[in-house]
Structure 1
Amino acid sequence: MLPEPTFTFTIPSVHDDTPLDCRIYNPPHKVLNSIDSDEQWHPRGAIFAHPYAPLGGCFDDGVVLSVTAEVLKQGFVVGTFNFRGAGSSQGRTSWQAKPEIDDYVSFIGFFVHYMDSLRQSVSHLPSERIFEPTLSPIQSAYNTFPEPDATTATQGIKLVLGGYSYGALIAMQLPTLEVILKRFQSVAKGTAEAEARLRAVSLAAQWSKDAHLQHEKRQVGRAGSCEKIRNSARSMAVAMGGDESEPGSRRHSHDSRRSLDAVRRSVERGRRKLGLKRHYYMMSEEALIEESLTSTNVPTPQTCYLLISPPLHLVTTIITMFSSLIRMNTPYSEEKICYSPTLMVYGDKDFFTSQKRYRKWAELLMAKPGSRFQFHEVAGAGHFYRENGVEPELRRCIREWIQTVTHGPALGD
């Protein structure tokens, strides 16, 4: 069963500032466990996109939730978001898909910086960046771990990009991570890129604080307080630029994007739930803004692709429509997914794309020298995976592939 999101928030799209609904699911106690163990935590993250919005697609789609639950179970931080026009995201679905590609790019920029900030906070950078000097007991334990080097950090960051149906199609057309991250490397105050990075820094700091608080409570044996913190951390819905902001503070333009009222309210709300005093706040608002504007060189994660029932009849249309984009550092989608670890799953009863077409396309990709493409055909499954017994099979093949990608055992059945 999928737990409540760790964070619920909005970010503006880099395409035109359209606010997008977003969710982050952190594995239970993942950060805390890294503190208690002798091994450095290497972040593993996954982003999964939803089906076509005009047909009801959003991040509450049953297949999206099922895949999210399975990947989360394997120790991944999982992010989902609503494309423009889906759910409570503003705007409308486009005819060309270019805005939706930029929506996905926006969330990737946020998510990679969130993962990197989380990695840094648990990789024991100077503790004053996260805690006030009054928290010396935690600082001492926090600094007993070695500093990560760039090679170790890069090797430890894995990112799965994926989607279901239309979401898979958009994932196939994304620019490379190098191109995406370069866009977020040096940002100007007031831009969508800066806003996304501010969200990343703020949420990572909030999660790190709560994980360390759990650790502190366990160390002193205050079981009741620890349970209170644990329950709060499971559902820490933080809305930034969303419904908890004043109506006039939603991000409609670059000029109005610097307000941190929502951040402040979210932190105060979490502080009240945990019964904490103000000195537990990790970073000042000014420090958060400065951090989000500092030029960064985030290690490029190792990228994998998880594609569930992509509508192949639309692939050629999208590629033709954006041939100019492809020439601008966006590799042909087949080449990209062929030479990166990729799993495509489809049902043999899919009415959007025939079994014959799926097999022919998949076998062509697998036959290329050096191909890392895999596929799995779910017997009896249609496009929506509602048939009896097909969802467990979908989850099983995803779980086994995730094991291969991470070179570790699956965490549960």
Structure 2
Amino acid sequence: MAHPYAPMGGSYDDRVVGIVVDEFLKHGWMVGTFNFRGAHGSKSRTSWTGRPEVEDYTSFAACFIHYMGYLQPYTARSSKTTHGDNLTPGQADTSPIVILGGYSYGSLILKHLPPVSDILRSSASAVSGSATDEILHRSRTLAQQSNTTWINTARSQEREGRSRTQRHEKPSPVIMGGEETTPDKRKTSRDIRRSVDRGPSGDFGRRLRSFSHSHCRRTDDPTPLPQEIVEIAPMIPPRVHYLLISPLTTPISSLAATGLGQKLWSKSKVVFEDITRQHPTLAIYGDSDIFTSAKRIRDWSEQLKKGTPDSLFSSVEVPRAGHFWVEGGAEEALRNALCNWDVVQEVA
């Protein structure tokens, strides 16, 4: 979920971003938030063009999508393999659903991301030591850590007879930082420095949260089970959806990102049809937004809905809601719009 314009205080801790994250977590989703460069103490600074921010989002999306694709959360419950055996995903026939979202400025950047198929294709041909290679290493490492934790926890529960009185621990965020590849493999070219911030304290991909499989072990277990390292299976390609909250319109969109080419609302009809035909998309906006023209979004939405018979685009216009969703009933309406989206209910 991408955040608003950093120079105006936007970051992954934004209130509206938090509302969206909260609703998805309540419905059992795994959620990833991140900071664009220059936001909330992150390195570098916000660009005038918006192009570096597109690279930031692309980098995080690549890492998160690969992380999700490598997860095997259900294998731990049914696996009878021993140490060293390869495990296959318990739901190999079901692709994970990935929703790429953005609020305000974040939605503007989202609309200029390359197609996910292109992101995955680029990852498949990553040069050793490049930023993309680093991202792949990071996602695989995080997924392997999660899979190992899940399977060891499940085996511990089996040993304990899956006691109904077992306590639950609160899920902790996964923190991304540091580096995966060795220093001699990492490149220092301009495109790599641009693509991902790899400092030890960097905020790239700072939080990935999980609301599933968060059981803790009893501390009085006299004979702990051997910890098992899980080998990850090939990544499962995701089903991609898009979520736009209070998307910007001209002239604000042009001022916030001068280098993104054609304005969001004047892209070719073919691009719009292609997006809505292949990927379910939801736009939520208020009719009293000072940064967005409700009429422009309304007309744009109708064009997308009626442009093709198989359009997967939908929109929700909230009366009297502004850009920050602080008006009476606005937050509740935003939450309801998210909850009523069919996609959200798929994992509930």
TM-score, with length taken from structure 2? 0.75
Distance 1:216 1:311 in 2: 49
One-letter code aligned to 1:280: Q
Provide the secondary structure at the position in 2 that maps to 1:338. Answer: helix
1:238-277 residue pairs with structure 2 within 5 A? 238-241=175-178, 253=188
Distance 2:121 2:269 in 1: 16
Deviation per CA, 1:183-240, whole angstroms, max 9, x where unpaired? 111323321112111221121122222222332333214759953xx426x1255352
1:216-227 residue pairs with structure 2 within 5 A? 216-219=155-158, 220-221=160-161, 227=167
The equivalent residue for 2:109 is: 170
One-letter code aligned to 2:62: G
The equivalent residue for 1:3 is: none
Q: Is residue 2:180 matched to residue 1:206?
A: no
Distance 2:80 2:44 in 1: 41
Pair 1:50–1:376, CA change in 2 (3 A): same
Task: Report the aligned-residue RMSD.
Answer: 4.2
Quote how far apart the aligned CAs of 1:55 are. Answer: 0.5
Provide the secondary structure at the position in 2 that maps to 1:231. Answer: coil
Pair 1:239–1:104, CA change in 2 (3 A): closer
Distance 1:320 1:94 in 2: 9
Is the CA contact (8 Å cut-off) linking 1:343 and 1:374 kept in structure 2?
yes
The equivalent residue for 2:204 is: none
The equivalent residue for 1:395 is: 335
Distance 2:132 2:273 in 1: 28
Pair 1:386–1:148, CA change in 2 (3 A): closer
Distance 1:332 1:321 in 2: 21
Unpaired stretches in structure 1, ≥5 consecutive residues:
1-47, 134-138, 263-272
Deviation per CA, 1:305-341, whole angstroms, max 9, x where unpaired? 11000111155679984459x9xxx997634543331
The equivalent residue for 1:84 is: 37
The equivalent residue for 1:338 is: 276
The equivalent residue for 2:343 is: 405
Is the CA contact (8 Å cut-off) linking 1:347 and 1:382 kept in structure 2?
yes
Quote how far apart the aligned CAs of 1:280 are. Answer: 1.9
Q: Is residue 2:294 matched to residue 1:355?
A: yes
The equivalent residue for 1:383 is: 323
Q: Is residue 2:244 matched to residue 1:307?
A: yes
Q: Is residue 2:51 matched to residue 1:104?
A: no
Q: Is residue 2:54 matched to residue 1:114?
A: no
The equivalent residue for 1:30 is: none
The equivalent residue for 1:12 is: none
Is the CA contact (8 Å cut-off) linking 1:173 and 1:333 kept in structure 2?
no
Deviation per CA, 1:96-121, whole angstroms, max 9, x where unpaired? 11111111110111011101110487
One-letter code aligned to 2:327: E
TM-score, with length taken from structure 1? 0.64
Provide the secondary structure at the position in 1 that maps to 2:283. Answer: strand
1:123-134 residue pairs with structure 2 within 5 A? 132=83
The equivalent residue for 2:18 is: 65
The equivalent residue for 1:56 is: 9
Give the paired residue count. 313
Unpaired stretches in structure 2, ≥5 consecutive residues:
202-216
Pair 1:58–1:146, CA change in 2 (3 A): closer
Residue 231 of structure 1 is aligned with which of 160, 166, 169? Answer: 169
Deviation per CA, 1:236-269, whole angstroms, max 9, x where unpaired? 5535229xx9xx9xx9947999x9x99xxxxxxx
Is the CA contact (8 Å cut-off) linking 2:289 and 2:321 kept in structure 1?
yes
Pair 1:304–1:201, CA change in 2 (3 A): same
Pair 1:310–1:341, CA change in 2 (3 A): same
* Bigger helix share: 1
Provide the secondary structure at the position in 1 that maps to 2:307. Answer: coil
The equivalent residue for 2:133 is: 194
Identity of counterpart residues, as a percentage? 35
